[in-house]
Structure 1
Amino acid sequence: MSARVLVARLDSDGDVLLAGPAIRAVAAGGNAVTLLCGPSGAQAAALLPGVSETIEWTCPWIVPDAPVFDPASVHTLLERIAARRFDVAVVLTSFHQSSLPLALLLRLAGVPRTVAASVDYAGSLLDTRLRPDIDFLDDQPEARRALSVAEAAGFALPPGDDGRLRVLSPPDTTALTGTGRYVVLHPGASAPARTWSPRRCAETVAALSEAGHRVVVTGGPGERDLTAVVSGVHGTDLGGRTSFSELAGVLAGAEVVVAGNTGPAHLAASVGTPVISLFAPVVSARRWAPHGVPYRLLGDQRAACRGTRARECPIPGHPCLNSVHPDAVVEAVHELQAVTV
């Protein structure tokens, strides 16, 4: 008999995409999977194979710039969870997040079994507790960490599933990109510390164009000014012109995607496209680099901001990324083309 399973991943689109292999493992036995996600992860949730339904909730201990705590919101969440009579909950968190507040809410909602990782003593809040320091979770890629939690709950990927990221088939976007080969450059990110400067991005679009590449520049609705500057006269500007699923289609058609450590880099990996990652070391590349596809990491991984988890760059001039020259990106594009031919 299949189980009713709640999987929780309460942060952004990129984090939700990295939970994909764990969700497929849960769904593999015919289990009905409800994904509890935040508003900034809902677009990705809609693209994940294995998700039967989603519950969207703004989690006050996860989201940046969290709103004032609202008891009514919590009571509504408990009612929605209780009504579904879940058999088990799989709580997915990053190394710096606590699973215990949500585990307490799940107990209040009557969920009989909860599985999660916790460095802190969990008492009776968790039925199965993975200890990151003992179970070797902290040095694993984020997708693998999530899959380890699902496995501890008794769920495994089916034979033939390689554990890479995956989304539902994206739409054909040649009406947006035109036909022929192209490279995507995605200049934005939710955290300024993870973005390359607009000047460097624009210089790279020009350098790639001069090297014979057609360049498509992507961005969200709030990034139209940025993508216009970065595209200049050399790139095709798709800023604000794609839904998330259409963005997946644009990335799927690219030879290579150039992006920071941001959701579209993980979306590119989800559609199997190689990634050049302009990676600021404020978080660990081992955990957060593009998963399951060929990639090149650019940026000073030993910079003074290393491991700070800063959202705003603490070093004047943002040297970890702005020291990367556009020629290095052009060279990395050629390397990945050679690898994937």
Structure 2
Amino acid sequence: MSAPVLLVRSDNVGDVLLAGPAVRAVAAHEREVVLLAGPRGRAGAELLPGVDRVVEWCVPWIDPEPGAVDPAQVRRFVELIGSIGPRAALVFTSFHQSALPLALLLRMAGVGWIGAISEDYPGSLLDLRHRVEGDPPESERALSLARAAGYAPPPGDDGGLAVRRPLPDVSGLVGEPGYVVLHPGATAPARQWPTEHCAAAVRALAAAGHRVVVTGAPQEKARTALVAGEDGLDLGGRTDLAGLGAVLDGADVVVAPNTGPAHLAAAVGTPVVSLFAPVVPAERWAPHGVPVELLGDQGAPCRGTRARDCPVPGHPCLSGVGPDEVLRAVERLRGAVRCES
């Protein structure tokens, strides 16, 4: 059997899901695909079609809260990659991340061919130094690297996001499909819609006749309980990522900030009301491939800062979005045609 190809996307769940079209393109041409993910993105990697094996390492120049660089851990990582023995690797990164430190470690592990997007001079670290013009959606940016490496998408693949199916049966949690999901959380506080707005939106949606489901991670249970109140079904901490995907799959519309579950909604084909703080550009990071209503002041002073905590008093880019505006966006999207993943 030929040696595997190693693909790398080492940050968060949403970033990993956005690499999915590129992963499928590589998998269509290779016998075995190994995906290297970080601890924050591994669950997303395990949902991607085309991935045969997932390996995990916390990359200290990518993770937002990295520990100290440990030479012993670095040596163990090089040994791990050497034991896998990939004949080639593609390193997927965002525009503000460098692929070159990892390329150096992959060279030390014996990987003979490496491709990545890189504005910096790579010397002998890269065999394919790919550049991207303009500001395409992140999934298309990653797919362009796969294409440049010779991996065209398979026939019939539209380049959209997707997850492995079947997804778990969550009917015992949510009942029949046909509800609105509101996901209030995001890893960066600057991207969150105010909690009181989320709670008011649940009340407004319920008053308009919508069944409302509130989702969140285990560490967000206090917030999801507050948001759900007496009018929504609180699923905070009650699903893993695959279960969350199934809940989103059964929704008519998902309301979420710029966070991994918004991309998971796109991956299962569900329209998204995107409460999008412009700390990163929406043209690159908004949910892709499904009907989207983009809400939030995209010209706010925080635009392009990549801030994790809002740098503007009052969080005006999102606090100015009212519950009634979300209700109207949900009702517009309910008539949209779902995208099948």
- TM-score higher than 0.5: yes
Take 2:23 and 2:2, find their aligned partners in 1: how far apart are those partners? 14
1:164: which partner in 2?
A: 160
Take 1:141 and 1:258, find their aligned partners in 2: how far apart are those partners? 20
2:309 aligned with 1:312, yes or no? yes
2:96 aligned with 1:96, yes or no? yes
Tell me how far 1:72 sits from its aligned partner: 1.1
Take 2:99 and 2:176, find their aligned partners in 1: how far apart are those partners? 46
Residue deviations 1:197-247, cap 9 Å, x none? 110000000010111101000000001000000001110000010111100
2:277 aligned with 1:280, yes or no? yes
2:177 aligned with 1:143, yes or no? no
1:193: which partner in 2?
A: 190
Tell me how far 1:181 sits from its aligned partner: 1.8
1:337 corresponds, among 310, 334, 339, to: 334
Tell me how far 1:168 sits from its aligned partner: 0.8
Give the number of equivalent residue pairs: 337
2:259 aligned with 1:226, yes or no? no
2:251: which partner in 1?
A: 254
Tell me how far 1:25 sits from its aligned partner: 0.5
Which segments of 5 or more consecutive residues in structure 2 lack a partner in the other structure? Answer: none
Take 2:201 and 2:70, find their aligned partners in 1: how far apart are those partners? 45
2:268: which partner in 1?
A: 271
Tell me how far 1:2 sits from its aligned partner: 5.4
1:6: which partner in 2?
A: 6
1:30-179 paired onto structure 2 within 5 Å:
30-132=30-132, 136=133, 138-169=134-165, 170-179=167-176
Take 1:2 and 1:141, find their aligned partners in 2: how far apart are those partners? 33
Aligned AA for 1:78?
Answer: V
Take 2:264 and 2:309, find their aligned partners in 1: how far apart are those partners? 23
Aligned AA for 2:115?
Answer: V
CA contact under 8 A between 2:177 and 2:250: conserved in structure 1? no
Q: 1:195 to 1:5 in 2, by over 3 A?
A: same
SS at match of 2:75: helix
RMSD, aligned α-carbons: 1.1
SS at match of 2:294: strand
Aligned AA for 1:292?
Answer: G
TM-score (norm 2): 0.97
